[in-house]
């Protein structure tokens, strides 16, 4: 049996999947087909039900059907997360009026910014192009995700809104669910549970073989140093990545509740394996 699995070309996902890619962690008689795409592309593919298992934004899951959420493989921030960078500080009212580059309208970062400031003028582009767009004044500010949250040039830009801190205050210190892994029901619940266990074991293997897993993840460093990639991985591959547990589930449900209250998404039934 072959399972098509979507994940991103980012260091944290690479770290999580190292055990599987290396062949050290496996399921008997199951071949994993790795599909590596940026998160907004994976969000769009999930809308069509194209992949058996895939990483998606927590926001993106709200628009899918026939997928269940895995307990393993999620990226949670702990009082940190996406930020809005600009050449100068903007207040909330100003953020509603200026042009802000966003990495996709189904990303959790986009959802958080809408919850924090309301409607704003978002300009969609690849996440890797956002810093350059701000520097060249193509936009007034940029919503940055992934390692750009910690690698942006602080000599050129200021952190004008920290959405990780905003969520920490709004949610009363719940972790911030950014990316999750979901599985299509066509796999059957038995296989979904087996894959969830596979991913959990792969993450644990990465922790147990940390240097080797970081070596593998460095192919997705996008010019960042090993020190920064280690820092990024340790931020977003944590205890809640192994199993989101009740605290992670509460955080996810709280995000959807606030988004519904703000008329951003409709009611959603979160099914967690």
Model pLDDT for residues 172-203, shown as the tens digit of each residue: 999 999 999 999 999 999 999 999 999 999 99
Task: Name the pTM for this structure.
Answer: 0.93
Give the distance from CA 106 to its chain's centroid.
11
Q: What is the pLDDT of residues 90-140, one digit of tens each?
A: 999 999 999 999 999 999 999 999 999 999 999 999 988 999 999 999 999
Most confident of 147-151, 168-172, 223-227: 168-172
Helix 11-21 to helix 189-208 angle (10° resolution) is 100
The whole-number average pLDDT for the span 2-21 is 95
Pairing of β 31-36 and β 158-162: unpaired
Position 154 confidence tier, pLDDT thresholds 50, 70, 90: confident
Query: Is 34 known to be catalytic?
Result: no
Rounded-to-integer distance, Cα 99 and Cα 121, Å: 5
Record the tokens describing residue 71, joined without a space: 């307990």
Rounded-to-integer distance, Cα 169 and Cα 241, Å: 22
Q: What is the pLDDT of residues 213-256, one digit of tens each?
A: 999 999 999 888 999 999 999 999 999 999 999 999 999 999 99
**Cβ atoms of residues 131 and 152 within 8 Å:** yes
Rounded-to-integer distance, Cα 94 and Cα 221, Å: 33
Comparing CA positions, the residue from 223, 251, 257 lying closest to residue 81 is: 251
In 3-state terms, what secondary structure has residue 122? strand
Residue with tokens 């999947």: 17
Q: Which helix (H) or strand (E) holds 143?
A: strand 141-144
| Annotated catalytic residue within 7, 34, 59, 146 | 146
Record the tokens describing residue 202, joined without a space: 């792969």
pLDDT at 149: 79
pLDDT at 85: 97
Domains of the chain listed by start with CATH number: 2-76+176-261 (3.40.190.10), 83-170 (3.40.190.10)
Q: What is the pLDDT of residues 58-93, one digit of tens each?
A: 999 999 999 999 999 999 999 999 999 999 999 999
pLDDT at 98: 98
pLDDT at 152: 81
Q: What is the pLDDT of residues 28-43, one digit of tens each?
A: 999 999 999 999 999 9
């Amino acid at each position: 049996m072959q399972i098509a699995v979507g994940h991103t070309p980012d260091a944290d996902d690479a770290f999580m999947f190292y055990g599987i890619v290396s062949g050290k962690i496996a399921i008997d008689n199951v071949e994993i087909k790795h599909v590596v795409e940026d998160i907004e592309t994976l969000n769009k593919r999930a809308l069509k039900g194209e992949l058996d298992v895939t990483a998606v934004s927590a926001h993106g899951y709200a628009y899918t059907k026939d997928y269940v959420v895995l307990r393993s493989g999620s990226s949670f921030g702990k009082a940190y997360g996406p930020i809005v960078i600009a050449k100068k500080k903007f207040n909330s009212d100003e953020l509603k009026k200026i042009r802000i580059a966003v990495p996709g309208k189904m990303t959790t970062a986009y959802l958080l910014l809408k919850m924090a400031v309301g409607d704003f003028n978002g300009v969609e582009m690849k996440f890797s192009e956002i810093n350059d767009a701000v520097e060249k004044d193509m936009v007034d500010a940029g919503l940055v995700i992934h390692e750009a949250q910690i690698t942006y040039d602080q000599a050129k830009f200021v952190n004008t809104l920290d959405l990780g801190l905003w969520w920490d205050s709004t949610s009363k210190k719940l972790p911030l669910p950014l990316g999750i892994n979901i599985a299509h029901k066509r796999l059957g619940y038995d296989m979904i549970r087996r894959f969830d266990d596979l991913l959990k074991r792969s993450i644990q293997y990465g922790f147990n073989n940390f240097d080797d897993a970081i070596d593998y993840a460095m192919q997705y460093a996008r010019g960042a140093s090993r020190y920064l990639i280690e820092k990024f991985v340790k931020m977003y591959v944590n205890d809640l990545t192994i199993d989101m547990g009740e605290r992670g589930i509460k955080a996810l449900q709280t995000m959807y509740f606030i988004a519904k209250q703000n008329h951003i998404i409709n009611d959603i039934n979160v099914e967690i394996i």
